[in-house]
């Protein structure tokens, strides 16, 4: 592989005009496609294989036009101090608002508070329920605007009005902190390379790669049912790996220049060596992201595949556009150790002197491997302790900041009707096979009334055929509580006895039940997903490193960093530690998809550093150095770059902590802290300590397996056959 990539790098350097034009054309084509495509709506949401989804599908058949999974909104009214919602003036304002709410083209129905018994006992709070024909992810912005305007008119009449429900679901905003993350990345690159031009190349190519990826997602949004949230993960991952991959190759290019090679040869060797690491690092990320399809949640699958496509683009750009741009940059990109005139006075590289920080650190670890290993493992173990208290759930309006109308509506409903009112359960009774359908409906209602944690059970509401009915159950506890989850399981536990007594089927659905089912589905998929991703990557790393113990050590180190990161997430978002610093207004259960999401994304990113750092060690070992020296050599050339790459990735992910959406905030923090743990503790401390302890055994591979594996030559041994060609090309010192 190294030889092929070497030739590709030299070709891109020589044919820089063609390569640059090709990528610009692709960016333009994707941009035109995105601009001409219909506006990206929100993708449909379904969870195949869950009871809640089966109930929704049944309702679509038995209650045509009901839009069982359609968006809902609750417009909550509170009377002024000393007044009641039943007062004539307040009642008139509410009825006018209800009339306005029912005029929208996507509105299926609106329930009047006064005819639907939706006024609190003390008469101070009332609500109007709005049902839409489409889901919250498919709702047009015009419908949301009309909803907000109607509430505004009621406020003008003197009422306090807040809106809750999934009808207000919109694409999350990341805020200005994302820009700050990119700015920090730029500063790190300038410090690393000592040149504005060299620092700008990774940023430029990463932005182009993300631009192509996100524009393609936008262009294909309608035919592939890709929602507006699909591009969020693609942007987050694509930007981070795009900068890192380009950074690896530019850094190796400067190292090759420092050894006296001409620029075309240096570009070829940089792509042949660092480019090989980029290819395999990219493959691990792609495997992890595409593997999200194992969960069988269509929205998560689409997000993973879209992000994987953006990572693939980042790899291709790093292998082709970076050497092309290096050709354009010419002498402005200096050999390693030299600084530009603007930033470093044009000082030349030092030929000899004090070893760099990476060399000194690696030498220390090689001398004290047991101490470093114990400190690293104990430190990560301590950070992982909170993970033992992990509670999973999906965010609802109760987890929103108190400044949002959704949270204020949630609190008003809790005050007026009880906390469980925000998470009603919809029980669907399929009595098509029952001899006495009405008796079956009544039997279900009576059984549910006898359960604990039940406040209200509405009378059965049958369809026109009379073979299916809906019963609404209001729990005592809030939607995200373990008590409500127990109630859902208790109701479902009655299914067998109901079927035995009446031949009727019982299904529980609704937003709360759907959240519980999604959480369970994600939990059940975690171990199979972990086995798939780690297993495939383990096989891939065996091919890369031609070793059994090095990939095993990489996988175990990754598990340590993920557990420690989950512990940090629990401490901040569940326990409330440093919540003020992170602007976490409401603590609660950790998002259900967080563990599986972190396993997928962090594993792929962690392997970036593993591949780039350890391939340098493997390269030194293959070229004749003893194991201890190879560790030091790998750090001498790679520690600075891996450190810069990690800081950049942390900065990019930290930018998403500023999002207004709690889910994006949690993902940004989780990924940032996971990269910190993995890069600076696992890869920079535990990895060299383990390799120093293992010695030559680290690179052991059974002879039969060595013969069976393909020789991908990541360390670039095959490039020794290529001598620097003579000619009139520009030399480094020319």
pLDDT at 728 over 60: no
| Whole-number Å distance between alpha carbons of 371 and 356 | 22
pLDDT at 471 over 50: yes
The whole-number average pLDDT for the span 632-651 is 85
| Whole-number Å distance between alpha carbons of 593 and 394 | 8
Per-residue model confidence as pLDDT tens digits over 52-97? 889 888 888 888 766 666 778 889 999 998 899 989 899 999 999 9
For the ranges 142-151, 250-259, 341-350, the lowest mean pLDDT is seen at: 341-350
Per-residue model confidence as pLDDT tens digits over 613-624? 887 888 788 778
pLDDT at 177 over 60: no
Looking up tokens 């991959």 gives 245
Per-residue model confidence as pLDDT tens digits over 700-726? 888 888 888 887 766 566 666 554 444
Per-residue model confidence as pLDDT tens digits over 207-249? 899 899 888 888 887 777 676 667 777 887 888 788 888 988 9
For the ranges 558-562, 589-593, 718-722, the lowest mean pLDDT is seen at: 718-722
pLDDT at 174 over 60: no
pLDDT in the model for residue 724: 47
List the structure tokens of 599: 């396993």
pLDDT in the model for residue 726: 44
| Burial class of residue 115, CB neighbours in 10 A (0-12, 13-18, 19+) | exposed
| Cα-only R_g, the chain | 30
Per-residue model confidence as pLDDT tens digits over 393-442? 777 777 777 778 888 998 999 998 888 888 889 999 999 888 888 999 99
pLDDT in the model for residue 19: 93
pLDDT in the model for residue 221: 76
Q: Give 126's strand partners.
A: 77, 119
| Whole-number Å distance between alpha carbons of 712 and 426 | 57
Q: Closest Cα to residue 593, out of 228, 310, 287, 292? A: 292
| Whole-number Å distance between alpha carbons of 278 and 205 | 14
- Judge whether 172 and 401 are in contact, CB under 8 Å: no
pLDDT in the model for residue 734: 30
**pLDDT-derived band of residue 322, with 50, 70 and 90 as boundaries?**
very high
pLDDT in the model for residue 68: 60
Q: Closest Cα to residue 409, out of 121, 59, 120, 74? A: 74
Per-residue model confidence as pLDDT tens digits over 124-156? 999 988 888 877 667 777 888 888 888 888 888
**pLDDT-derived band of residue 309, with 50, 70 and 90 as boundaries?**
very high
- Proportion of the chain above pLDDT 90, given as a percent: 19
- Proportion of the chain above pLDDT 70, given as a percent: 90
- Judge whether 163 and 76 are in contact, CB under 8 Å: yes
pLDDT in the model for residue 222: 72
Q: Give 428's strand partners.
A: 470, 507
Half-sphere exposure of 503 (CA within 13 A, CB side): 8
The whole-number average pLDDT for the span 435-457 is 89
pTM of this structure: 0.78
pLDDT at 545 over 60: yes
The domains of the chain, with CATH numbers, are: 1-36+173-339 (1.20.1640.10), 72-165 (3.30.70), 357-401+526-722 (1.20.1640.10), 424-509 (3.30.70.100)
pLDDT in the model for residue 731: 38
pLDDT in the model for residue 725: 47
The whole-number average pLDDT for the span 535-561 is 85
The whole-number average pLDDT for the span 567-587 is 82
List the structure tokens of 246: 């380009």
pLDDT in the model for residue 111: 87
Q: Give the mean pLDDT of the chain.
A: 83
pLDDT in the model for residue 727: 40
The H or E element containing residue 365 is helix 357-367
């Amino acid at each position: 592989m190294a030889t092929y990539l070497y030739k590709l790098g030299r070709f891109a350097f020589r044919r820089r005009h063609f390569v640059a034009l090709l990528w610009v054309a692709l960016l333009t084509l994707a941009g035109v496609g995105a601009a001409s495509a219909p506006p990206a709506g929100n993708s449909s949401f379904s969870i195949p294989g869950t009871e809640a989804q089966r109930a929704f599908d049944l309702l679509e058949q038995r209650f045509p036009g009901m839009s069982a999974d359609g968006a809902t909104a609750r417009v909550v009214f509170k009377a002024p101090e000393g007044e009641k919602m039943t007062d004539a003036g307040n009642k008139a304002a509410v009825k006018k608002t209800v009339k306005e709410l029912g005029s929208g083209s996507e509105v299926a129905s609106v329930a009047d508070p006064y005819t639907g018994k939706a006024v609190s006992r003390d008469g101070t709070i009332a609500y109007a329920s709005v049902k839409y024909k489409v889901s919250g992810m498919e709702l047009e912005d015009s419908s949301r605007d009309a909803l907000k305007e109607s509430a505004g008119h009621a406020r003008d009449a003197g009422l306090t009005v807040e809106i809750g429900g999934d009808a207000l679901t919109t694409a999350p905003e990341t805020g200005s902190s994302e820009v700050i993350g990119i700015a920090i990345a730029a500063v790190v690159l300038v410090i690393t390379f000592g040149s504005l031009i060299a620092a700008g190349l990774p940023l430029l190519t990463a932005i182009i790669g993300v631009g192509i990826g996100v524009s393609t997602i936008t262009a294909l949004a309608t035919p592939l049912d890709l929602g507006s949230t699909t591009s969020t993960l693609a942007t987050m991952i694509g930007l981070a790996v795009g900068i890192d991959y380009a950074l690896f190759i530019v850094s190796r290019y400067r190292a090759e220049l420092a050894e006296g090679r001409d620029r075309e040869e240096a570009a070829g060797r940089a792509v042949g060596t660092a480019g090989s690491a980029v290819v395999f690092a990219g493959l691990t990320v792609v495997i992890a992201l595409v593997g999200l399809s194992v969960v069988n949640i269509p929205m998560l699958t689409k997000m993973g595949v879209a992000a994987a496509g953006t990572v693939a683009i980042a790899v291709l750009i790093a292998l082709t556009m970076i050497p092309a741009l290096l050709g354009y940059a010419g002498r402005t990109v200096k050999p390693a150790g030299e600084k530009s005139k603007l930033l470093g006075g044009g000082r030349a590289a030092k030929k000899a002197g004090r070893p760099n920080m990476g060399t000194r650190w690696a030498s220390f670890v090689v001398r004290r491997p047991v101490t470093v290993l114990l400190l690293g493992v104990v430190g990560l173990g301590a950070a992982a302790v909170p993970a033992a208290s992990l509670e999973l759930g999906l965010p609802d309006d109760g987890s929103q900041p108190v400044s949002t109308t959704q949270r204020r509506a949630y609190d008003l409903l809790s005050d007026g009707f009880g906390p469980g009112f925000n998470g009603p359960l919809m029980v669907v009774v399929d009595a098509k096979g029952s001899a006495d359908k009405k008796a079956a409906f009544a039997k279900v209602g009576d059984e549910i009334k006898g359960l604990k944690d039940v406040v209200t059970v509405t009378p059965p509401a049958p369809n026109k055929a009379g073979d299916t009915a809906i019963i609404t159950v209001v729990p005592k506890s809030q939607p995200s509580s373990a008590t409500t989850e127990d109630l859902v399981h208790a109701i479902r536990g009655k299914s067998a006895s109901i079927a035995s007594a009446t031949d009727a089927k019982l299904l529980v659905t609704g937003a709360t039940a759907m959240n519980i089912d999604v959480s369970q589905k994600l939990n059940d998929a975690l171990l199979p997903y972990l086995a798939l991703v780690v297993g495939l990557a383990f096989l891939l790393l065996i091919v890369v490193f031609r070793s059994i113990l090095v990939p095993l050590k990489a996988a175990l180190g990754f598990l340590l960093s993920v557990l420690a990161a989950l512990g940090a997430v629990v401490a901040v978002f569940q326990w409330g530690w440093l919540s003020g610093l992170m602007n976490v207004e409401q603590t609660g259960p950790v998002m259900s998809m967080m563990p599986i999401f972190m396993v997928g994304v962090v594993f792929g990113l962690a392997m970036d550093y593993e591949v780039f750092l350890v391939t340098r060690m493997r390269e030194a070992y293959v070229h004749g150095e003893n194991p201890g020296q190879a560790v030091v050599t790998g750090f001498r050339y790679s520690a600075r770059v891996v450190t810069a790459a990690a800081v950049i990735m942390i900065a990019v992910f930290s930018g998403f902590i500023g999002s207004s959406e709690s889910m994006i905030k949690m993902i940004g923090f989780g990924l940032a802290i996971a990269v910190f743990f993995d890069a600076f503790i696992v890869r920079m401390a535990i990895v060299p300590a383990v390799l120093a302890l293992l010695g030559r055994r680290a690179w052991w591979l059974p002879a039969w397996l060595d013969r069976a594996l393909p020789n991908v030559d990541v360390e670039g041994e095959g490039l020794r056959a290529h001598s620097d060609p003579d000619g009139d090309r520009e030399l480094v010192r020319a």
